[in-house]
Chain A
């Protein structure tokens, strides 16, 4: 009979699942972990250097100031780390919000079908007609310059993507026998959607959400760069690049280069992790 002792098997599986087993993914996890840890510890120990400092302005990178100082004499390293908190938090929370909202709407759309599906699909068509950043820019510009609005705008820009993805997966799940069996045993359409279709179609939106995290960081930084997200003097990578761009002309590359590097490393790490998760869960 099938009542084999599965507890030992399960324990083995969990250990195997915790192993990363991919050098690129291991590096990505390490980098992201390091940036996050520094982002939490450094501002707490050394302050975020938002206001002008006693340091001379535009010092090139040295041991005292590993990323140099900007034109107001603020330490670029300290500011980069202070920004890491905001940017990673934004990336993760946007991804989480997009995942929850998008997958639930997608599953409801697929499960209810007909009119509900048609309305939701036309709405995503409209939203998807705009490139994500442009849509977010329009929303933020019309609401006002505020980092919260910018974050919400980025969420709205990415939700349709996840709605589409989770709907397509949910359509496949909806045809499964256990959905018919659930209907037969009296589950309402809401129950079928949230209890049976959602958990079984959650995998793909989940993987996609890690990629959304990286895109959200890019888009949020872009909005701040354009001046509608985080406002100076608060530190944010995109805003820092915008502040440092003018210095480039005189050869002072570091105030804009290092925030850019941070964006690249963080967004890149999320991409690699997403890729790894995709292969892992397939």
Chain B
């Protein structure tokens, strides 16, 4: 099977020549969820941003190429137009313009998409589409939410809105950069479930960036473990969790299980 996304030899550097990501290779099959896991500063977010041409100032791709659906959109420092991919961000409230209502942001996006398709643009039709989109991500009263500003909604609601905006573009690839890190645990579970069903419904491929081994285990089929800008291990989730070949992966797993243990102890103590 030909992979949907294939990244070969990707390297990212700062202007000062500090290397952030070195020689990263990754493949995502159609409909597959691939995780990138690693500690803070391991380069996982930079990798995600580079695939969409959103690297911050002073950081650039120095080598490597990326292909989506047979179309090479990234080759070295040359970014040739955005691929058919969208992204959901770590902090959903910060990823929505605080000075625009949800409805305005969603409808702007819809208008842009319609124009890109060369289709007609009708305000009322767009509003109906917006309401349908919000409904499809489990928002109960979409009409009220359209009139709200992001700061009036909870993080979970904003993340739902972000997911709605992400699927509006009918992408083939979704990049999720720690989509549940800023949310509390119950909302986290809901959002993960929503991502899982949305991805299945639309047949999307996903690059799922997280530092949480538990979330990765739930969501992904394959996972790349990153450490200091390098992929240390790229294999099936089961392989990585049960038979880790790399020393760093083992450390990461034992750290995660310790954390789990202390959390459980904490719960038990509180329950008493």
Contact = CB atoms under 8 A, between A and B. Distances in A.
Contacts of A145: none
A185 B109 contact: yes
Nearest to B111: A186
B152 A181 contact: no
Nearest to A171: B57
Nearest to B98: A200
Nearest to A175: B56
Given A3-B141, A3-B145, A185-B109, A178 B152 contact: no
Nearest to A202: B99
Interface string B135-154: 00000110011001000111
Contacts of A195: 100
B91 A177 contact: yes
Interface string B116-133: 100000000000000000
Nearest to A176: B94
Interface string A1-39: 111001000000000000000000000000000000000
A181 B96 contact: yes
Given A184-B52, A184-B54, A178 B98 contact: yes
A113 interface: yes
Given A113-B57, A175-B56, A184-B86, A3 B95 contact: no
Interface string B68-100: 000000000000001000110111001111111
A186 B154 contact: no
B112 A186 contact: yes
Given A2-B157, A113-B57, A187-B112, A182 B140 contact: no
B192 interface: no
Nearest to B116: A186
A183 interface: yes
A152 B139 CA distance: 53
B26 to A, nearest CB: 20
Nearest to B53: A183
Contacts of A187: 108, 112
A3 to B, nearest CB: 6
A180 B175 CA distance: 13
Interface string A185-222: 11100000001100110000000000000000000000
Nearest to A188: B112
A178 B112 contact: no
B217 interface: no
A8 to B, nearest CB: 13
Interface in B235-269: none
Nearest to B49: A180
A3 B99 contact: no
Contacts of A183: 54
Which 3 A-B residue pairs are closest in the complex by CB-CB distance?
Answer: A2-B154, A199-B99, A186-B112
13 contacts: A1-B140, A2-B152, A2-B153, A2-B156, A2-B157, A6-B152, A113-B57, A175-B56, A177-B90, A180-B95, A181-B87, A184-B82, A185-B86
